[in-house]
Chain A
Amino acid sequence: MMDDSSLARALADDLDGHFEQLVRTYQDRLYGFALRLTDSRQDAEESTQDAFVRAYRALERYPAERRRELRLRPWLYQIALNVVRNRVRRSVPTLVALDGAVGNGLAGHADEQPEAIALRAERWARLATVLGDLPSRYKTAVVLRHVQGLSYAEAADVLGQPRGTTKSDVHRGLRLLRDKLEPELLVEARNA
């Protein structure tokens, strides 16, 4: 697979010839990002589609020089984030879609016990739900840094804020997650 800067160069030389590769390289990441932010598979699918179509239209307009210089990863997350935010603003609040809350497609190791897999799946599902309920500022920061694995610098770029702000949003988000998850664990421990 091509690295980011080779892909950017390839897109600069021949957008139509390499755009599918760009989508294939990034679709799971953008879909995963949108899924965590929207908590709905359908919204995530539509946001991913929208984001790539916008990316294509932008690349079409950009001169080759600008395409070549693009840092694709933060740029694409930024587009996806804008799409998700605009959709949320436009849509009437709905019930939280439950299907997206369970981490779909999460595979376990082949040699694991079924109980262990079930327990872990349950833990992930609960984490997804708690994460989905965080205020969007903290949720977005945590998802970028710790779900998608971006560096603080990249995440700050995507969010258009200073690195320090992103860092403190991530830490605050993690603390909120732990606070919400721990009481449940304590209850479990007491009942055991």
Chain B
Amino acid sequence: MQNRQLLEDLRALSKVHTPGRVLEAILDEVGLGDRYASLVTALGPVFVAWNRFGVSAVMKTATGEQFEARFSERFGRSAYPAAELPSGIGDRFDLRSATEFERAVLLKAREIPPGEVRTYGWIAAQIGRPAAVRAVGTALRKNPVPVLIPCHRVVRSDGAVGEYALGGSDAKRAILAAEGVQAEQIQLLARRWRLASGDTLIKYG
């Protein structure tokens, strides 16, 4: 047998494809595998992904495949379908991709009880960065786990609902309504918190 042919044939033996289940099993075993399932919310069904750190993503897409594509585009890793959500989901969150500031904003938003709203300025003041109102808005818009971390309960100080990652301001109004906050109340609630926060009290008081 010709040496060149032998070497070519040997090299050809390297061209194999690993079955997809191998990657999945590796990531699961080291605790980096994200699983996802759908969850019915006030906004209809959404997809929720989680891993060993907690809930990693909430997105609204038409199909699981679309969710997988958007998930890997945003986080650079894969999520695999699971039969159901584990119990106690929503207690812990994977906020590794967030900055320290963003984490502070998100965890503060988490403290707002259902049926209530706060303003962006309230969050900024609460986390000790009263001037960072716009940055609070940006951090909430990037919330990887909307609904479960209720960024929808944060509204503008003029009573406008503001933006919402999970389907715009209509969706935000809808989820607030489902929690018992009606459109006309938002202005009132926002005003109450605006008045309660010291720095704006002077301006509006």
Contacts and interface: CB of A to CB of B under 8 A. Distances in A.
Interface residues of A, number: 42
Contacts of B78: 20
B25 interface: yes
Contacts of B7: 146
Interface residues of B, number: 29
Interface stretch (B12-20, B108-116, B141-149, B193-201): B12-20
Contacts of B12: 103, 106, 124
A21 B76 contact: yes
Contacts of B23: 20, 23-24, 27
B29 interface: yes
A149 B14 contact: yes
B25 A49 contact: yes
B43 to A, nearest CB: 29
A128 B13 CA distance: 7
A70 interface: no
Contacts, number: 102
A31 B26 CA distance: 13
B9 A123 contact: yes
Interface in B6-49: 6-7, 9-19, 21-23, 25-27, 29-30, 32
Contacts of B96: 16-17
Nearest to A173: B10
A162 to B, nearest CB: 23
B18 A147 contact: no
B77 interface: yes
Given A19-B30, A20-B23, A53-B30, A181 B13 contact: no
Contacts of A52: 26, 30
A17 B76 contact: yes
A106 B32 contact: no
A32 B27 contact: no
B1 interface: yes
A104 interface: yes
A77 B105 CA distance: 44
Contact of A127 (B10, B18, B32): B10
A3 interface: no
25 contacts: A19-B32, A20-B27, A20-B76, A20-B77, A23-B27, A27-B22, A27-B23, A28-B17, A29-B14, A31-B17, A32-B13, A32-B14, A36-B13, A45-B18, A52-B30, A53-B26, A53-B29, A103-B15, A104-B16, A104-B17, A131-B10, A147-B10, A147-B14, A149-B11, A174-B3
